[in-house]
Amino acid sequence: MSLVRLNIKGISYSQTQNGAYALILNEVDGDRKLPIVIGAFEAQSIAIALEKEIKPPRPLTHDLFKNFADRFDIVVKQVIIHKLVDGVFFSSLICERDKIEEIIDTRTSDAIALALRFQAPIFTYKNILDKAGIFLKVETDEDNQDDDNILIEGILNENIDVDTTPEDSYSSFSLDDLQNLLTEAVNNEDYEKAAKIRDEISKR
């Protein structure tokens, strides 16, 4: 079976369901996207690896794994999303130490978080992309963005059942206040809150 390389397009969180996140992977040589529902902690870890602005005061679990692997000369060479069963993606880390290759089973969200830290490529098989890949419009007009958001919401609502509580609103805060809140959230290791504050700062 042929492998298809994927890049990370971004993380989308549900506007209607608190705690629901979708990691969107983009086909490198095509237009299909692979949406994967992930947990809040993993979403935070991936977002921190993507956004260099937020630096945790203490290493997260995935940072600890990277530090441990570096100390013992273990390298993650690539990540392969190799199976899809009942909406759940299964992945493998292809690791190498002393020119000996090992394959380690892992959750896809953890695999992506580690791939970012090791700068390792991400792949899936063509048949998985054929089965689960979707087309999201790339145009920038608002109508198309709304269509994409509705589609992402549908994916999240279909796969996750969580309590719905209103999200904190930061629209009334000044930029200085937001920067202070961001620093406080990072120091408290509340990375979900930090990500939301960072999003509000980006909107400004």
What Rg do the C-alpha atoms of the chain give, in angstroms?
18
pLDDT in tens, the chain (204 residues): 699 999 999 888 765 555 678 899 999 988 899 999 888 889 989 988 988 767 788 889 999 999 999 999 999 999 999 999 888 899 999 999 999 999 999 999 999 999 999 999 999 999 999 999 887 654 444 445 454 454 555 555 554 433 333 345 677 788 888 888 888 888 777 777 787 888 788 776
Cα–Cα distance for residue pair 121/76, rounded to 1 Å: 9
Residue range 3-135, CATH number: 3.10.690.10
Cα–Cα distance for residue pair 65/71, rounded to 1 Å: 10
Domain boundaries, the chain: 3-135, 170-203
The whole-model pTM stands at 0.69
* Long-range contacts formed by 83-88: CB under 8 A, 24+ apart: 83/128, 84/128, 84/131, 84/132, 87/159
